[in-house]
Amino acid sequence: MSKLLYPKLALSNIKKNAKVYVPYILTCILTIGMYYIINSLAFSETTRTLRGGDYIQVLMALGTFVVALFAIIFLFYTNSFLMKRRKKEIGLYNILGMEKKHISIMIFFETLYVALISLGLGLLFGILFHKLVLLLLLRIVSFDVQFGFEILPSAVAETIILFSIIFLATLINNLRQIHLSSPVELLRGGQVGEKEPKSNWLITLIGALSLGGGYFLAMNANDGMTSFLVFFPAVILVIIGTYCLFVSGSVTILKALRNNKRFYYKPNHFISVSGMIYRMKQNAVGLANICILSTMVLVMISSTSWLYSGVDETVNQRYPREIVTETTFYQKTEVDAAPFQEAAQLAAQKANTEVSNELYYEYIAGGGLRQGNNFIVDASSVQNYNQSDVKMLYFMPISYYSMFYDDTVSLKDDEVLVYSVQHEYNGSTLGIFNRIYNVVGTIEQFDPIGSSAANMVDSYIFVMNEEQFDWIDEQWTRLNYADDYTPEMTSVSFMYGYDVEDDYDITAAVTHNMNEIMTNEITAWNEETQETDTIAWINFVNRNYEFVDMQSMFGGFFFLGIFLGSLFVMATVLIMYYKQISEGYEDRERFRIMQNVGMSRQEVKKAVHSQVLAVFFLPLIVAGIHICFAFNLIRLLFSLVSMTNAARFMMSTVITFLAFAFFYIVVYLLTARVYEKLVSEK
Please report, as ranges, the residues that interact with other proteins according to CB under 8 A: 194-196, 261-262, 265-267, 270, 274-275, 277-278, 590, 593-601, 603
Between residues 164 and 260, which has the closer beta carbon with respect to other proteins? 260
Report residue 181: phi and psi, to 5°.
-110, 155
Q: Determine the Cα–Cα distance for residues 38 and 650; give it in Å rounded to an integer.
A: 29
CB of 264 to other proteins, least distance (A): 8
| Type of residue found at 35 | Y
Minimum distance, C-beta of residue 184 to other proteins, in the bound complex (Å): 18
Confirm if 247 and 256 have CB atoms less than 8 A apart.
Answer: no
Q: Name which of 524 and 593 has its Cβ closer to other proteins.
A: 593
DSSP state letters, 17-85: THHHHHHHHHHHHHHHHHHHHHHHHHH-HHHHTSTTHHHHHHHHHHHHHHHHHHHHHHHHHHHHHHHHH
Q: Give least dist CB 254 to other proteins, A.
A: 11
The residues that bridge with 606 in the sheet, in sequence order, are none
We find the least distance from the C-beta atom of residue 277 to other proteins, in angstroms, to be 7
**Phi, psi angle pair for 448, to nearest 5°:** -70, 135
- How far apart are CB 270 and other proteins at their closest, in Å? 5
Residue 101 vs 262, nearer CB to other proteins = 262
Closest to other proteins by CB, 527 vs 589, is 589
Separation of alpha carbons 80 and 189, rounded Å: 12
Q: Rounded distance, CA 238 to CA 218, Å?
A: 10
Q: Are strands 490-499 and 323-329 parallel, antiparallel or unpaired?
A: antiparallel
Output the smallest distance, CB 241 to other proteins, in A. Answer: 27
Q: Tell me the closest approach of the beta carbon of residue 272 to other proteins, in angstroms.
A: 11
- Indicate the residue type of 636: L
DSSP string, 470-505: HHHHHHHHHHHTSTT--GGGEEEEEEEEEE----HH
Please state the closest distance from residue 267 (CB atom) to other proteins, in A.
5
457 three-state secondary structure:
coil
What is the nearest approach in angstroms of other proteins to the Cβ of residue 249? Answer: 19
DSSP letters along 248-281, please? IIHHHHHHHHHH-HHHHSSHHHHHHHHHHHHHHH
| Residue among 270 and 663 whose Cβ is closer to other proteins | 270
Tell the smallest beta-carbon distance from residue 190 to other proteins (Å). Answer: 15
Closer to other proteins by Cβ: residue 223 or 603: 603
Specify the residue, 191 or 349, whose C-beta has the smaller distance to other proteins. 191
Minimum distance from residue 285 beta carbon to other proteins (Å): 19
Q: Which is nearer to other proteins, 434 or 596 (CB)?
A: 596
Residue 351 DSSP SS3: coil
What 3-state DSSP class applies to 151?
coil
420 to each of 293, 386, 538, 566, 584, how far by Cα in Å?
A: 38, 20, 25, 40, 60
- Backbone torsion region of residue 433, taken as left when φ is above 0, otherwise alpha when ψ lies between -120 and 50, otherwise beta: left
Q: Which is nearer to other proteins, 284 or 293 (CB)?
A: 284
In 173-322, which ranges are E strands? none
- Nearer to other proteins by Cβ, of 100 and 188: the residue is 188
Identify which of residues 254 and 382 has a Cβ nearer to other proteins in the complex. 254
The secondary structure of 513-551 as a DSSP string is HHHHHHHHHHHHHHHHHT-TTSEEEEEEEEHHHHHHHHH
Show contacts of 348-353: CB within 8 Å, 24+ apart.
348/500, 348/510, 348/513, 350/509, 350/510, 350/513, 351/500, 351/506, 351/509, 351/510, 351/513, 352/506, 353/500, 353/501, 353/506, 353/510
Minimum Å gap between C-beta 199 and other proteins is 14
> Which is closer to other proteins, CB of 277 or CB of 392?
277
* Strand 415-420 with 459-464, pairing: antiparallel
